[in-house]
Chain A
Amino acid sequence: RKEVEQDPGPFNVPEGATVAFNCTYSNSASQSFFWYRQDCRKEPKLLMSVYSSGNEDGRFTAQLNRASQYISLLIRDSKLSDSATYLCVERLFSGGYNKLIFGAGTRLAVHP
C-alpha cells in the first residue's frame, strides 16, 4: 500500500465550479501535511500547510482528519489558472530530519 494515496483524476471542471480532492495516508506518526501545486513540466510549489483545525487561504481550504487519516483540499470558484496537478504531502521526522512523502498527485483541468 502506498504511504500517500490520491485519486489521479483528471478532474475536469468548468470555471467557477467548486472541486474537492482527498488524500489518505497510512502512517499515524505523521507530523504535518501540505498541499503542493505542480504545473506541467515544472517544479512543485508549496500551496499551503494543513492544520488539524482546518485552514483557509482565499479560495482554498484544507482539512485534516487524523482519526480517518485523510486530508482534503477544496477549491472554490475555480479559475483557468488553477489547472495543475495537486500533490498531497505528509511530513515525518525520521533519522534526524524532516522527511516529506509525496502522493502521485491529482490532476485538475479547469475549462471555460
Chain B
Amino acid sequence: SQTIHQWPATLVQPVGSPLSLECTVEGTSNPNLYWYRQAAGRGLQLLFYSVGIGQISSEVPQNLSASRPQDRQFILSSKKLLLSDSGFYLCAWSPGGGADQYFGPGTRLTVT
C-alpha cells in the first residue's frame, strides 16, 4: 500500500529565516505531487504541483519554491520567511492521471 510522509510535523521559525519541508511517497511510482497551504479557518490553497522529476508548476506567485529531485520526493523551500507564510502545509499525491488525491499528515509552520 502507499504511504506519504512529511516532516517536520511542527516548526517555529523567525521571520527572514530559510525553510525546507520534505515530503516522500512510498509504494507507488511516478505519482503526481502537490503542495497545499491551509491558513487558519480557510480552505486549502494549491501552491505547486509536479507531474515528474524536475517538473514543477506554480499556482500562485509567492515567497516559496518547490523542487522534485527524485520521483517520490517533493521539497518546499523558502529563502526568507514572512509572517504571512504561517499555516498548515500539506503534501498530497495522486496516481499519474488519477483524480483522487491523498494527503500527508502536514507540517504546521508558525513564523514569529
User: Judging by beta carbons under 8 Å apart, are B41 and A43 in contact?
Assistant: no
B44 CB, nearest partner CB in chain A, Å: 4
Expressed in whole angstroms, the Cα–Cα distance for A87 and B43 within the complex equals: 8
A32→B106 contact, CB < 8 A: no
User: B104 at the A/B interface (Cβ < 8 Å)?
Assistant: yes
A66 an interface residue at 8 Å Cβ cutoff? Answer: no
B90 at interface, CB cutoff 8 A = yes
CB distance from A31 to the nearest CB of B (A): 7
List B8-41 residues whose CB lies under 8 Å from chain A. Answer: 32, 41
Interface membership of B67, Cβ < 8 A? no
Query: By the criterion CB–CB under 8 Å, are B43 and A103 in contact?
Result: yes
Contacts of B104 in A (CB 8 A): 43
Per the CB 8 Å criterion, the residue count for chain B at the interface is: 23
How near does chain B come to A74, taking the closest CB pair, in angstroms? Answer: 22
Q: Contact flags (1/0) for A84-112 with B, using CB distance below 8 Å? A: 00010001000111111011110000000
Please tell me if the beta carbons of B46 and A99 are within 8 angstroms of each other in the complex. Answer: yes
Residue numbers in A under 8 Å from B49 (CB-CB):
97, 99
**Contact-residue bracket for chain A:** 20 to 34
B98 within 8 A of A: yes
B54-101 interface (Cβ within 8 A of A): 57, 88, 90, 94, 97-101
Task: Give the residues from 20 to 75 in chain A that come closer than 8 angstroms, CB to CB, to chain B.
Answer: 31-32, 34, 41-46, 49
Closest B-chain residue to A46, C-beta based?
Answer: B100
Report, nearest first, the 4 A-B pairs whose CB atoms are least far apart: A43-B103, A104-B43, A102-B44, A102-B43
What are 22 A-B pairs at a CB distance below 8 A? Answer: A4-B43, A32-B99, A34-B100, A41-B88, A42-B105, A43-B103, A43-B104, A43-B105, A44-B90, A44-B103, A46-B102, A49-B100, A97-B32, A97-B51, A97-B57, A98-B94, A98-B98, A98-B101, A99-B49, A100-B101, A102-B43, A103-B43
Instruction: Give B contacts to A, CB under 8 Å.
Output: 32, 41-44, 46, 49, 51, 57, 88, 90, 94, 97-106, 108
